Amino acid sequence: MSVLNRSASETTDPRACSERALVSAARTGEEAALRELIRRMNPRLFRVARGIVGSDEEAEDVVQESYLNAFHKLETFRGEARFSTWITRIAINNARMHLRRKQQHKEYDTVTEHRPAAASVHAFPGQDPDRPEVALGRAQIRALLEDAVASLPSELRLPFLLREVEHMTLREIGRDLSLNPITVKTRLFRARRKLRQALEQRIEGGFDAIFPFDGQRCAGMADRVIAALGD
C-alpha cells in the first residue's frame, strides 16, 4: 500500500523545514517531506553503505532498502535520537545483512564486477569548470582516492568515511557502530596509514614525487641566486 499523500498541502518550502518537521509531515505520507528527507540523507547513507559493501551498485540497493524499511515503519520512530541517526543505523544493519547474504550464496555468484576507469566520477564544482583539463584532473584525483578508500577493509573503511566525510565525532561513530571510541580512534589511525601506503603505491615515486623542484627549475633557481649575489 502506498505511503504517499500527494494531496497534502505544501505551505512551506521543505528545504527550509527542520528534520523534526519533515518527519512529522512524512508520517502522514506527504511526498514533499519524504523527498526532502531522502535528499538530505542520500550522501550519508550512500557513504555508510559503501563503507561496508563492495560496490556502488550494492550500496545503492542498500540505501533504497533502508528508505523503504524506515518509511514503512516510521510509526516506530519515537524520537529519542535524531531521525538521521535512526536511519543511519538501519542502513548499517541492512548493509551488514547484505554482506551476510552475499557470503552465504557466494558459491552461486559467478559474476565479477568490472569497474571501468573513472566510472561514476563527476568533476567537483570549482573555478573554470568548462576547462576540460581541469575536469579531467579532478576526475582522476577523485578516482584515485575512491579506489584507495575502496581498498580498505570494511572495518576500517566505514569509520574513516564517517569521520572524514560525514565529520562525525569518535563518540558518535562508536555509538552507531557499537564500538568503544578508543577502538574507533585505533581503526582511524590504521585506515589513514593504509591509505597512505595505497596512494604511494599508485603514485610513481611515492609522495616524494609531489612538488618536484629539480631539472631546469632547480638550475634556474641556482642561476638567479648566483646572479643576485653578484650584483
Q: What distance in Å separates the CA atoms of residue 86 and residue 89, rounded to the nearest whole number?
A: 5
The whole-model pTM stands at 0.66
User: What whole-number distance in Å separates Cα of residue 46 and Cα of residue 42?
Assistant: 6
Question: Which residues share a beta bridge with 13?
Answer: none
Which residues, 6+ apart, have CB-to-CB distance to 27 below 8 Å?
74, 75
Q: CA–CA separation, 140 vs 194, rounded Å? A: 20
- Cα 88 to chain centroid, rounded: 13
C-alpha cell at 38: 531522502
Count of other CB atoms within 10 angstroms of residue 38: 16
One digit per residue, the tens of pLDDT, for the chain of length 231 reads 455 555 444 556 888 899 999 999 999 989 999 999 999 999 999 999 999 998 889 999 999 999 999 999 999 998 888 999 999 999 999 999 998 888 876 655 444 444 444 444 444 344 455 566 667 667 778 888 888 898 999 899 999 999 998 899 999 999 989 999 999 999 999 999 999 988 888 776 666 666 666 677 677 777 877 688 776
CB 124 within 8 A of CB 99: no
